Structure 1
């Protein structure tokens, strides 16, 4: 499956462009020891910032919304939508919700990519909404349905869920997506429309797992980040959505080319189902937050980096919980997420 994402910023610095923003708040001490408010349930979070407000969007209730002034105190807001677009219910019969939202800001508008599917099926679609602002009180606030972006069918070797929009150093736009099946795919996008090029190019496989004969290949939730001349690809392995029994964990690889190959610190390749672990469950003697994954990445206006993800709280009946980890970069250029 399937639930997921995060990008950074409108009215802040983001991959592929800049916009004005207020400085971020001073954060001291581990965020996850102090985070409070409406952090449950949170699944597949994407974290962005507009002006002085942080937003977390996630799977559920037609895109769940939480806001915070400081990354610590979170308040649930009304969901973005009440119903699926008509095209989505026709394209994916039985679909009832929007999964794994991804937010990016370009062309003067926020672009919300989201997935529509049913559990265990690759008859799926990724759609797009746009709005000039995230603030419901702003006079120009309005989400426009831009329709479908890409679809997958049982005959395809990919699953069109878990979207992540990315702009590379040459201002080329890409959409990474995928879950199980043939792994993570990369599609080239038209920068004006935010949709596939016309005619669409061939999708590029950038990560995958090798399943045992007849078995599943659990990989999903891609997220692309640029740092110091490299592209970094985060993906989650194994199984989410099983509460405290979830085995989800997240790995990262990097490449000089956005199309790959992505390699871990030891040279292992994400195309071979390997890479460098960046998020995993707490130590056995703690055993509280299990299955951390489906991460997003925020580079804040003060230059600090954060990974946002969900994990399942064993002390709260396995509830899917918002987690935010500051990221430091090692001397040899690898992200280290603190707890």
Structure 2
């Protein structure tokens, strides 16, 4: 949604005690700038790759979530072959391993527009210079659609794939994908909708844990905090619902339907942490902690009030998820 402004200047964000009921972000050093980060561990050598919104999708690597992160370059330095405004400033990467290849879904759009499309690039290694742009997946939108086709997120359910996407308008949608996860194979359906205000829901992420599919999304104003600070509580925060199905029936902790304004807060501003969002989840894997039984890690971007509120100052945050009565906690 903007050009990359960060440098490789090192930041160190240390783990602190609980503030207002939330744990502060875990430690990060090196290239800790982030916006809509997607993190995945390469299976061949356990190296972590972090992908960021902006330009041709920045790639940084580290041996652990806490860094030190080193910028390597861009996945698609020449942008996308999708013929839309914004095709050199790609948003919201979502990276998964599908078969023997790594897939990177991304969005092409411009701020406030429904002229949007979700693209796909593939790589066998994730290294800079290895990515092949396949262009549009066929998931796209115009002002004639009820949704905005940005912020993709793939989830595998058995041998089937689904792509979640959406931002504002009628919020979060889902479409079944082909067996190779490259093209839609059916119609889109609405899985989350907040009818109030401007419907500020986007950046969904779905994961499975202990019998439930958890749907996370970012709610509120994402950007421009250094220019106009939102009213208290109107800034980004991370919401959640869950269902025993990956395709419908999502409810919040009070039982309210996710498609009728339901949603419980997982993480909000606290202390010096402001506007957390752009979240994803990954399991504890090799190279992070010695105790792999700890479960899942939530990661996201946020503004640190002591560092700066501008988009170019956003940082990479992560926390080990706790669990209470079947729901994740930070």
Q: TM-score, normalised by structure 2?
A: 0.83
- Is the aligned partner of 1:131 residue 2:131? no
CA distance in 2 between partners of 1:152 and 1:203 (Å): 12
Distance 1:123 1:2, change over 3 A: farther
3-state DSSP of counterpart to 2:74: coil
**4+ aligned runs moved over 2 Å, structure 1:** 27-34, 93-96, 242-246, 300-304
- Cα separation, partners in 2 of 1:165 and 1:193, compared to 1, 3 Å: closer
Question: 8 Å contact 1:2–1:162 — kept in the other structure?
Answer: no
1:312 aligns with 2:303: yes
Q: Find the aligned partners of 1:99 and 1:299 in 2 and give their Cα distance.
A: 24
Q: CA deviation at 1:317?
A: 2.2
Could you say if the C-alpha distance between residues 131 and 155 of structure 1 is closer, same or farther in structure 2, counting changes exceeding 3 Å?
A: same
Structure 1 position 269, deviation (Å): 2.2
**Which residue of the partner structure matches residue 236 of structure 1?**
218
Q: Residue 282 of structure 2 corresponds to which residue in structure 1?
A: 298
Compute the RMSD of aligned alpha carbons.
Answer: 2.2
Q: Work out the CA distance in 2 between the residues paired with 1:193 and 1:335.
A: 28
1:60 deviates by: 1.3
> Which structure would you say has the larger RCO, counting Cα contacts within 8 Å and 6 or more residues apart?
1
Q: Secondary structure at the match of 1:176?
A: strand
Once residues 48 and 130 of structure 2 are traced to their aligned partners in structure 1, the CA distance between those partners, rounded to angstroms, is 19
1:218 and 2:206 are equivalent in the alignment: no
1:306/1:171 CA distance change after superposition, 3 Å: same
**Change in CA separation of 1:46 and 1:37 when aligned onto 2, cut-off 3 Å:** same
Kindly provide the CA deviation profile for residues 202-238 of structure 1, in whole angstroms up to 9, marking residues without a partner as x: 21100011134xxx21000110000111100001111
1:158 to 147, 166, 180: 147
Could you say if the C-alpha distance between residues 219 and 134 of structure 1 is closer, same or farther in structure 2, counting changes exceeding 3 Å? same
- Partners of 1:2 and 1:179 within 8 A in 2: no
1:322 is aligned to 2:316: yes
SS of residue in 1 equivalent to 2:111? coil
Which of 58, 71, 77 does residue 72 from structure 2 map onto?
A: 77
CA distance in 2, matches of 1:160, 1:94: 13
Q: How far did 1:95 drift?
A: 4.2
1:2 and 1:250 mapped to 2: Cα distance? 22
Show the counterpart of 2:184. Answer: 196
Secondary structure of the residue aligned to 1:120 is coil
Name stretches of at least 5 consecutive residues in structure 2 with no aligned partner: 4-14, 18-22, 286-291
Structure 1 position 329, deviation (Å) = 2.1
Residues 8-157 of structure 1 aligned to structure 2 (within 5 Å): 32-40=25-33, 42-50=34-42, 51-73=45-67, 74-86=69-81, 88=82, 90=83, 92-93=84-85, 95-136=87-128, 142-149=130-137, 150-157=139-146
**Contact conserved, 2:153 with 2:165, CA < 8 A, in 1?**
yes
Aligned pair count reads 294
2:8 equivalent in structure 1: none
Q: Assess if the C-alpha contact under 8 Å between 2:26 and 2:317 holds in 1.
A: no
| Change over 3 Å in CA distance of 1:63–1:94 after alignment to 2 | closer
What is the CA distance between 1:142 and its match in structure 2?
Answer: 2.4
Distance 1:305 1:171 in 2: 22
